[in-house]
């Protein structure tokens, strides 16, 4: 049996998150939502650094380093599911996993697996709408970790970088410094890269 999980669309109608349709993937809506979602739960000092900006800057870094528009396209879209379910910071997922383990003896890895399954269900529809296979290349996942290191260094300084778990990776070849953009700039940049890296005319698709 397929669950029904209703979630608002911008016009007040609802979609079923548990069974998203291609028609639910509306690029301007995704760009708008990602431009208003904060990385790091917005805990950094100063303005919000958005998920949309993260996706744009990582995609551009892959363009600088590889010239491979397919890798760039995957990076641009790799967090697009967050437009529907929000940004789930890693500490929050681990905190939830810890609570469920303590309360119900649910192994922590099962919670992480469930979170990944939720994201994957949305990703499958998003990638299909974009004309991409559902398997994300390793280079995209590695760039996500490299962007995390660069963002941590710029937003939280050396102390933040020192406290970041994971292996050391080279900093990405960015186009410009990581300085938080206003939401409108991030939204427009995300849509611009949608056309640049995927050839999608989002105005026609709107």
Fold adopted by 26-87+132-205 = Hypothetical protein af1432 (1.10.3210)
pLDDT in tens, 112-156: 999 999 999 999 999 999 999 999 999 999 999 999 999 999 999
pLDDT of res. 36: 98
77 alpha-carbon distance from chain centroid = 7
pLDDT of res. 53: 99
pLDDT in tens, 33-54: 999 999 999 999 999 999 999 9
Residue with tokens 């469920």: 100
Of the candidates 183, 193, 198, 200, the residue with the CA atom closest to the CA atom of residue 36: 183
* DSSP H/E element including 7: strand 6-8
Q: How confident is the prediction for the chain on average, in pLDDT?
A: 95
Where are the domains positioned within the chain?
A: 26-87+132-205
Lookup: tokens for 8: 């608002």
Q: Among 19-33, 62-76, 192-206, which is the least confidently predicted range?
A: 192-206
Distance in angstroms (rounded) separating the CA atoms of residues 64 and 163: 28
DSSP state of 37: P
Q: Does pLDDT of 1 surpass 80?
A: no
pLDDT of res. 2: 64
């Amino acid at each position: 049996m397929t669950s029904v999980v209703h979630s608002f669309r911008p016009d007040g109608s609802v979609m079923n998150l548990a069974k998203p349709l291609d028609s639910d993937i509306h690029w301007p809506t995704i760009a708008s939502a990602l431009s208003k979602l904060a990385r790091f739960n917005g805990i950094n000092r100063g303005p919000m650094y958005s998920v949309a900006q993260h996706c744009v800057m990582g995609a551009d870094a892959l363009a600088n380093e590889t010239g491979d528009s397919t890798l760039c396209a995957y990076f641009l879209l790799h967090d697009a599911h967050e437009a529907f379910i929000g940004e789930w910071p890693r500490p929050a997922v681990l905190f939830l996993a810890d609570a469920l383990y303590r309360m119900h003896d649910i192994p922590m890895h099962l919670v992480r697996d469930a979170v990944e399954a939720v994201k994957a269900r949305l990703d499958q529809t998003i990638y299909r709408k974009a004309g991409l296979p559902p398997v994300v290349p390793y280079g995209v996942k590695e760039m996500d970790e490299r962007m995390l290191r660069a963002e941590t260094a710029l937003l939280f300084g050396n102390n933040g970088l020192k406290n970041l778990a994971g292996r050391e990776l080279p900093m990405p070849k960015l186009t410009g410094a990581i300085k938080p953009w206003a939401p409108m700039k991030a939204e427009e940049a995300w849509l611009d890269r949608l056309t640049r890296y995927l050839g999608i005319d989002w105005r026609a698709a709107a």
